Each structure stands twice: as structure tokens, then as C-alpha cells.
């Protein structure tokens, strides 16, 4: 790694500009986000290399992950060696495992995400999801169970928040994610495409095994604390409950995972 320029000033303009991506305002302004740790960086380079702008790596991490460094260099992504102090200053997590990349946002326009759902696909809609870990886990479940897209409302957590990116374990790069549309517009856009809207809500009269999952559909997930608002429920075609033994025993990410698994089973 001695052939790479070594960044050692944790207070340099460049380091501060990368570190700023921990904040939503800077992400929105720059149109970039942080990708932390070898696993996430590997997925970035494998699935969205066009979005990769720079890789920052410590010497020990570069030695442990030579394949990541050569993939980046081979794709024309600038690789910068840096000290542990510089890496710690740039990273949001306490344990970036010696590696942080900067990428341009990878979200797609809403219509492109809806195109991906097409005639047979299914998607997830996050309406007011606030917890980064929940949002990331839902993306991961959507990826695992073959969803065509994830649609994230304007009122939800930023999917390019480093905590969300981390908890997707790379899934944010695997399937189309559309962000920033207000909830009612988002639901109307789905309806206009013939995508059946299924609210996942414990109050639902339809039990999950009885839900109509034959055509294109989207699971509509609400806020962690208050669930789905009446106005949102009204815009949905059905309200579906997962049969459980006790109320409050499923969190949002678990509920989404189970619903998506059911969708996958039907295909």
C-alpha cells in the first residue's frame, strides 16, 4: 500500500467533507453517502460500481482485503490510503473495519421502481418508518425474498443514513429503491399501475394466509409506534394481519419479513 497517497490529517478539508456525510443535510446537498466496512464496500463495487467515487482504506485493511482494493482500482475508483485516525474521523460507525467508501446516491426515480414491479412483482412501501435498523432490515428482507423494489416515503428515515446502509448488509445496492415521495402520492402512483396495496396491520380483517398475492402488490408498512394512519389504510386495497399468539409481539422488520416471505412463496 506504500504506493498509495497516505491521508494523515484528520482535520483536512477532504476528511471533513467525507465525515459530513454522517449528516442528512450534507448527504442531500452532496448527493453522496458513506459505505462503511468491507462487506458493504464489496457489495457497492459488485452491484453499483458506477456510483463509487472513492475508497479510503487503512494499510492493515488493504492487506486483509486485497481483492476489494484491486476491484476498485480496476474499475477506476480512486483508492486512498489513510491512517486509523483519518478513517475514524470519516466513519460514522465505531468499527468501520479499516474501510470507508463514498458513493453517489443509488436511488432510482419512482416510475423506474414501479416499472421493476411490472405485472408479477411485489414491493414494500415504508410510510413513516423512523428507526434506521428497522428500515435496513426491511430492505434486507425485501432483497432476500425477491421483492422488485422498495418505496420509501418522504416521511421515513433517510435510507442513505449510515446506520440504514449498514443494516441492509449490502441489500441497498441489490434492488431498486425509490425515495422522497409523500405517502399519498406514493400510494396513488402504485394504484395507477395496478399494484394492489396491502396494509400490514394487526387490526386487519384478512389473515396473511388468505391475502390475495396473485398479482402485483405492495406491502404498506407503518410507523414503529403508531402503525398506519386511517388515511393511509383507506388508500389500501386490503388490511392484512399476521396471525400471532400475542399482540405487540412482532416488530416492524419481523412483520415485513414474514409478509415478503409469503409473497415469495406464492411465486
Work out whether 140 is an interface residue with its own copies (CB under 8 A): yes
Interacting stretch for its own copies, rule CB under 8 A, among 17-25, 28-36, 225-233, 248-256?
Answer: 248-256
Find the helix packing angle between 66-74 and 38-47, rounded to 10°. Answer: 30
Interacting stretch for its own copies, rule CB under 8 A, among 6-14, 30-38, 92-100, 239-247?
Answer: 239-247
DSSP, collapsed to helix, strand or coil, labels residue 239 as strand
Q: How far is the CB of 5 from its own copies (least distance, A)?
A: 33
Q: Which residues of 205-224 are buried (b: 16+ CB within 10 A; e: fewer)?
A: eeebeebebeebbbbbbbbe
Q: Give one word for 139, left, alpha or beta, with left for phi > 0 and alpha for psi -120 to 50.
A: alpha
Q: Are strands 206-207 and 149-153 parallel, antiparallel or unpaired?
A: unpaired
User: By CB neighbour count within 10 A (0-12 exposed, 13-18 middle, 19+ buried), where does 180 fall?
Assistant: middle
Q: How far is the CB of 51 from its own copies (least distance, A)?
A: 19
Work out whether 94 is an interface residue with its own copies (CB under 8 A): no
Q: Residues 169 to 228: which contact its own copies by CB under 8 A? A: 169-171, 174, 209
Interacting stretch for its own copies, rule CB under 8 A, among 115-123, 191-199, 219-227, 237-245?
Answer: 237-245
**Comparison of 30 and 206: residue with beta carbon closer to its own copies:** 206
Q: How far is the CB of 171 from its own copies (least distance, A)?
A: 6
Amino acid at each position: 500500500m506504500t504506493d498509495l497517497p497516505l491521508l494523515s490529517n484528520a482535520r483536512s478539508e477532504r476528511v471533513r467533507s467525507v465525515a459530513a456525510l454522517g449528516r442528512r443535510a450534507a448527504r442531500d446537498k452532496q448527493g453522496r453517502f458513506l459505505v462503511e466496512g468491507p462487506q458493504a464496500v464489496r457489495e457497492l463495487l459488485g452491484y453499483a460500481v458506477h456510483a463509487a467515487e472513492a475508497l479510503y482504506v487503512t494499510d492493515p485493511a488493504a492487506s486483509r482485503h486485497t481483492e476489494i482494493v484491486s476491484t476498485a482500482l480496476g474499475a477506476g475508483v480512486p483508492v486512498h490510503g489513510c491512517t486509523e485516525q483519518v478513517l475514524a474521523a470519516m466513519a460514522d460507525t465505531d468499527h468501520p473495519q479499516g474501510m470507508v467508501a463514498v458513493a453517489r446516491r443509488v436511488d432510482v426515480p419512482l416510475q423506474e421502481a414501479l416499472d421493476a414491479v411490472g405485472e408479477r412483482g411485489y414491493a414494500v412501501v415504508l410510510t413513516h418508518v423512523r428507526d434506521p435498523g428497522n428500515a435496513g432490515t426491511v430492505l434486507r428482507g425485501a432483497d432476500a425474498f425477491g421483492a422488485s423494489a422498495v418505496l420509501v416515503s418522504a416521511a421515513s428515515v433517510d435510507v442513505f443514513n449510515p446506520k440504514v446502509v449498514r443494516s441492509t448488509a449490502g441489500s441497498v445496492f441489490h434492488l431498486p429503491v425509490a425515495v422522497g415521495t409523500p405517502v399519498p402520492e406514493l400510494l396513488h402512483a402504485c394504484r395507477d399501475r395496478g399494484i394492489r396495496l396491502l396494509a400490514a396491520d394487526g387490526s386487519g380483517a384478512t389473515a396473511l394466509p388468505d391475502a390475495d398475492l396473485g398479482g402485483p402488490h405492495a406491502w404498506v408498512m407503518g410507523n414503529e409506534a403508531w402503525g398506519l394512519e386511517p388515511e393511509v389504510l383507506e388508500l389500501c386495497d386490503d388490511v392484512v394481519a399476521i396471525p400471532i399468539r400475542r399482540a405487540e409481539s412482532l416488530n416492524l422488520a419481523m412483520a415485513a419479513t414474514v409478509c415478503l416471505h409469503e409473497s415469495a412463496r406464492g411465486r
